Structure 1
Amino acid sequence: MTDTADAPDAHHAAPAPEKTAHCSGPRAASAVAAGDGLRALRRRTTAVLVASQILGGLGVATGVALAAVLAEEVSGSEGLSGLASTSAVVGTALFSLPLATLMAARGRRPGLVLAYSAAALGGAVVVGAAAAGNFPLMLAGMAAFGAGSAANLQSRYAAADLADPDRRARAISTVVWAATIGAVLGPNIAAPAGDSVAALGLGIPVTAGPFLWCSGIFLLAALTVHLLLRPDPLLAARAREAGSAGAGDGEERSLRAGFTAVASSRPARLALATIAGSHTVMVSIMVMTPVDLGHHGIGIELIGLVISGHIAGMYAFSPVMGRLSDRLGRLAVIGLAVVLLGSAAGLAGTADGDHRQSAVGLFLLGLGWSAGLVSGSALLTDSVPQAARAAAQGLSDLTMNAAAGAGGALSGLVVARAGYGWLTALSASLLLPVTLLALHTALRRPSPVRAGDGADAPRGDAQRG
């Protein structure tokens, strides 16, 4: 489909970009979105989101690297150490819907600022709880800390707000790729960050020190978004669509509208299943692979290399997945995600302590996650009306994190009772519903789901359940 909204409004003179680039509010958003400054606004928005994603990813990765270690120190129990990461995942899920509600009502900027600020507060609570030896308070802090991940996830949708339908997946993948920098740097700065805080003599444990740095990093991310993400991309996208289609501004943007939009669109249901399924399979296998390798006598250095390769697969190749999704269609890349994740489960589950085979399997697991997240996120954005997108996107993040949290919690029990091989097999079985939905969607459509299909198309199957 050809997107005609790129052209300036024939009835209005294009405003000077320098007069609107730093303004906020629907009126300024409408002015920029309707004029020649659209391309400049896209570049500016992407740059701000990439910067905030790097900062947010750095904060999340730094904290996650030491969460289990700090939890064991504070609780005095190895068995309780996993609750810290679980609390962060639960916090990410719990923040998803309130964040979506705020964004649906007021735009991306207030929501992202609130989430990063909550994560900063959570980091400070973790530090205080560690100094006081209060484990329940630490878990509460980790739940608020999870808001940083919620903000990072929502940033990918903010990148798609102003993108043309045939470039949405690439816009999403650019922001996802930016997380690579934080994911790589975070664990490496954890030790010096802890030492620097311990040197202040404040009674803060070395393993809690990095969380103080995380709070500062999240505050910087919030400040970056607050000052520079203007005009708001979601408000600008709504103004652009209203101006090009003559739509009013009174459409319902509640969470109920998001649920209804997903329930009434087959491609949207497929997108939701793809995002949640890919994330659950990835988390369930990834969290237990180091344990399985350790049981086979593999050292921490080799385990670290396996996980590093997995992280590289998750983030570094997301631009490739974005380009493929825009060029070949969303369904093609969803199919690729299923193949990659299934192959990864097979390789990892039959490695039997071979760290090289495990490394290949975990790398493919990261690639499959990237393919599923990018193509699924683009398809979801394609398949619901503009007014319901923020709510539907919040629903997708709630679903993916809740499912992955359950998968991660159950994975240890499966390995303890049945073994790692059974875990990978059960994880791979979660791909069956995605496969069936994809086949059903493909067979019911006259042509594959491509960029611009769905809610952006004037007609078609995307709006029929």
Structure 2
Amino acid sequence: MAAAQIVGGVGVAVGLALSSVVVDELSGSTVISGFAGTATVLGAALLALPTARASGRGGRRAGLTLAYLAALGGCAISVAAISLHNWPLLLAGLVLVGGGSAGSLAARYSATDLSPKGRAARHLSLVVWASTIGSVAGPNLAKPADQIGMRLGMVEKAGPFAFSALAFAVAMAIIMVFLRPDPLKLARELDGGESTVTGRTSTIRTAWQTLRTTPMARRALIMIATSHTAMVSVMSMTPVKLHHDGSNLDVIGLVISLHIAGMYVLSPVVGWLADKAGKVPVLVLGMGLLLSASALAGTAGHRVWQVTAALVLLGLGWSCGLVAGSALVTESVPIERRAAVQGLSDLLMNVCGATGTIVAGAIVGVLGYGVLGLVVGIMVAAAGLWHTAVWRRTPA
């Protein structure tokens, strides 16, 4: 699983570093460039439930294979779109590339399938941490991949997407061959149930019903969605901002790499803290970090170092929200309903993120990057205050 996360992380990150820049160049519109992040996040949302359903019926191996296969196809479409200078087709390809993100998100839950009570956050965070190498290295591989691609006859900026396709193919092969025994199937067998779940326990309706009757899981999901929306809204428009400010691909790649390092490098520490101090305090800490990041981004101007600092804090805040929130969701629902609830959680998280990128593109295109930082900061502050107030009234 760790090896697949590393390779899959490369696949996601290489394309992530350039997607908005390529769409900006092909379309000539900053507003449309924001749809690059939207397409990827929307793809992750659309593939969340199919991935969860495949996991519920065939185990984690089936779900992850489906997600990475979709991402591979999306990369192939993206290469063709760039060659044809067709930005709508590129956006369509990026939707499928979102399958890589769906796979990485779903993989984190595989670590909790066999976790003893009170250790879910630590185990989940280790899978998140395994993404660090690939995700941090990925953006810095964009330029070499582009150069290799052009030597092989590809048009400029198509090479990174071809490289991503190769990475997703390798990740898929690792999952298919080495993820045995399947952790979700084994967990169900040990719990005294069937190794696969069909019918009503794997449906979205059951997931909604479970969330409605489980306040803790519902609150955790809201905080996950808030963290992800804040992160992708700012992150998706940062390469475009830096590009317009005159930064080259090396600088953009470095900034995104440091941001991704913030997302993943300290995740084991976040997981340990969530299990020791509690998931709710870590969620509130995450909101504080995201608020600080928004303030730095909104006041950065042309200072690349300040944008970089903002994105590192943005990654740390996201890590707190994702690790603590995901562990809280998992611990709050019965094992036979986990895959469905986890899939719904990822769906809602990514729908909110996709909406955020659409709004972010419009804000940056009309009002500027600084206003985006202000808007995201207000959203995060409101969510953090709400969560703290609700938790104090109903600690259970």
Superposition TM-score, scaled by structure 2 size: 0.89
**Equivalent residue number for residue 28 of structure 2:** 77
Within the candidate set 321, 324, 327, 1:378 is matched to: 327
Look up the match of 1:322. 271
- Residue 325 (structure 1) shift: 0.3
Q: How many pairs align?
A: 391
Name the CA distance, whole Å, in 2 between partners of 1:164 and 1:349. Answer: 42
Letter of the structure 2 residue corresponding to residue 257 of structure 1: T
For residues 427 and 177 of structure 1, what CA distance do their matches in structure 2 show?
Answer: 26
Shift of 1:108: 0.9
Runs of 5+ consecutive residues of structure 1 not aligned to the other structure: 1-48, 446-460
Partner residue in 2 for 1:229: 179
Q: What amino acid sits opposite 1:155 in the alignment?
A: A
- Residue 285 of structure 1 deviates from its aligned partner by 2.5
Query: 8 Å contact 2:274–2:282 — kept in the other structure?
Result: yes
**Structure 1 residue 110, shift from structure 2 partner:** 0.5
- Cα gap change, 1:348 to 1:260, in 2 (>3 Å): same
- 1:217 correspondence with 2:151: no
- 1:201-222 alpha-carbon deviations (Å, 9 max, x no partner): 4xx3142123222222211111
Q: Counterpart in 2 of 1:35?
A: none
CA distance in 2, matches of 1:380, 1:333: 14
Contact 1:104 1:254 in 2 (8 A): no
CA distance in 1, matches of 2:337, 2:137: 36
Q: Which digits, 9 at most, give the CA deviation of each residue in 1:328-385, with x for residues without a partner?
A: 1111111111221122223333344444444433322221111111000000001111
Q: Is the 8 A contact 2:20 2:236 kept in 1?
A: no
* Partner in structure 2 of residue 208 of structure 1: 158
Q: Does 1:123 align with 2:79?
A: no
The residue identity in structure 2 corresponding to 1:196 is: I
CA contact (8 A) 1:298 1:353 kept: no
C-alpha contact 2:79 2:162 (8 A) present in aligned 1: yes
Alignment of 1:254-265 (within 5 A): 254-265=203-214
Counterpart selection for 1:138 from 90, 97, 100: 90
Q: Give 1:418-433 correspondences, 5 Å limit.
A: 418-431=367-380, 432-433=382-383
Counterpart of 2:161, as a letter, is F
Once residues 147 and 361 of structure 2 are traced to their aligned partners in structure 1, the CA distance between those partners, rounded to angstroms, is 32
- What amino acid is the match of 1:269? R
Q: Which has the higher contact order (CA 8 A, sep 6+)?
A: 2
Given that 1:277 and 1:434 are in contact with CA atoms closer than 8 Å, whether structure 2 keeps it comes out as no
Distance 1:337 1:163 in 2: 24
- Does structure 1 residue 412 correspond to structure 2 residue 369? no
**How far apart, CA to CA, are the structure 1 residues paired with 2:226 and 2:76?**
33
The 2-side partners of 1:234 and 1:412 are apart by: 39
Counterpart of 1:345? Answer: 294
Instruction: Compute the RMSD of aligned alpha carbons.
Output: 2.7
Query: Structure 1's 189 and 361: CA in aligned 2 closer, same or farther, altered over 3 A?
Result: closer
Look up the SS of the partner of 1:216 in the other structure.
helix
Task: Map 1:2-41 onto structure 2 (within 5 A).
Answer: none
Letter in 2 for 1:104: G
C-alpha contact 2:59 2:182 (8 A) present in aligned 1: yes
1:303–1:64 Cα change, 3 Å: closer
1:102 maps to 54
TM-score, structure 1 length as denominator? 0.77
Distance 1:273 1:71, change over 3 A: same
The structure-2 alpha-carbon separation of the partners of 1:167 and 1:193, relative to structure 1 and needing over 3 Å to count, comes to same
**Bigger mean CA offset, 205-214 vs 90-99:** 205-214
Identical residues among aligned pairs (%): 46
* Residue 93 (str. 1) matches residue 42 (str. 2): no
CA distance in 1, matches of 2:52, 2:372: 33
Confirm or deny: 8 A CA contact 1:270 1:438 kept in the other structure: no
Please say if 1:270 is aligned against 2:222: no
Q: Over residues 50-98 of structure 1, what are the superposed CA-to-partner deviations in whole Å (9 max), with x where a residue is unaligned?
A: 111111110111122232344456x453454443333222211111111
Match of 1:399 in 2: 348
Instruction: Give the 3 Å change call, closer, same or farther, for CA 304–125 of structure 1 in structure 2.
Output: closer
Q: Which has the higher helix share?
A: 2
Quick one: structure 1 residues 241 and 435, their matched pair in 2 at CA, closer, same or farther if it must change by over 3 Å?
A: farther
Is this contact kept in 1: 2:56–2:198, CA < 8 A? no
